[in-house]
Amino acid sequence: MRFPDKLTVVVRDRITGLPVEDVAIILTLFATRKNNYGVEPVITNENGVAEFTRESCEFSIKRQKGIFIMDFKDELGDCRPFIELSLHPHEFVERMIQQYRYSPELWGSCFRDPERLFAALEKVRNAEYEPSKLTATEEQLLAKPQLELLLSSSDKTVLQQ
């Protein structure tokens, strides 16, 4: 997989078109051997923007391979030539937070700045939105390293209004 230096993801509300702030986005790299890689979640800013870098992908791969030696094999260049971006499911965010609280040394070692990340994950609004994902090919990413992820409010949010 040839990954651009930086991939920008703009997250918008499907109905209003407005940017969605404070949601965690996950990037999945598809391995050719063993397990796929989830790159460290990125939380959208006030403009609904999340950015993933080639360097952050390589860092995530190195950390996962180092911690879970038997579970991962590929390098970034070995991964399949497409990615998936998705709203990190709320239940996965909750599980990440619980695992970090239980064993911060282990789970924190997967991330560059675990204290900042997990403090931010405590405040994400992922539960307010339905699952959403998109895929892109290596060619698409290299030609235009900007993607748009559209989110729809969950039934819970609509009922509360």
Burial class (CB in 10 A: 0-12, 13-18, 19+), 113: exposed
CA 28/CA 70 separation, integer angstroms: 19
**111, 40 in Cβ contact below 8 A?**
yes
Render pLDDT for 52-97 as a digit per residue (tens, 0 to 9): 999 999 999 898 887 777 788 888 999 999 999 999 999 999 999 9
- Write out the two tokens for 53: 């870098």
Render pLDDT for 31-45 as a digit per residue (tens, 0 to 9): 998 899 999 999 999
Render pLDDT for 109-124 as a digit per residue (tens, 0 to 9): 889 899 999 999 999 9
**30, 82 in Cβ contact below 8 A?**
yes
Residue 161, pLDDT > 50, answer no
Domains of the chain: 6-155 (2.60.40.1120)
- DSSP SS3 for 7: strand
Nearest to 36 by CA among 45, 49, 26: 26
Which residues are paired to 27 by β-bridges?
A: 39, 85
Give the DSSP letter string of 70-85: TTB---GGGS-SEEEE
Gyration radius from the chain CA atoms: 16
CA 154/CA 31 separation, integer angstroms: 31
Residue 158, pLDDT > 50, answer no
Q: At what angle do helices 90-102 and 114-121 cross, to 10 degrees?
A: 140
Nearest to 126 by CA among 7, 14, 26: 26
- Provide the residue count of the chain: 161
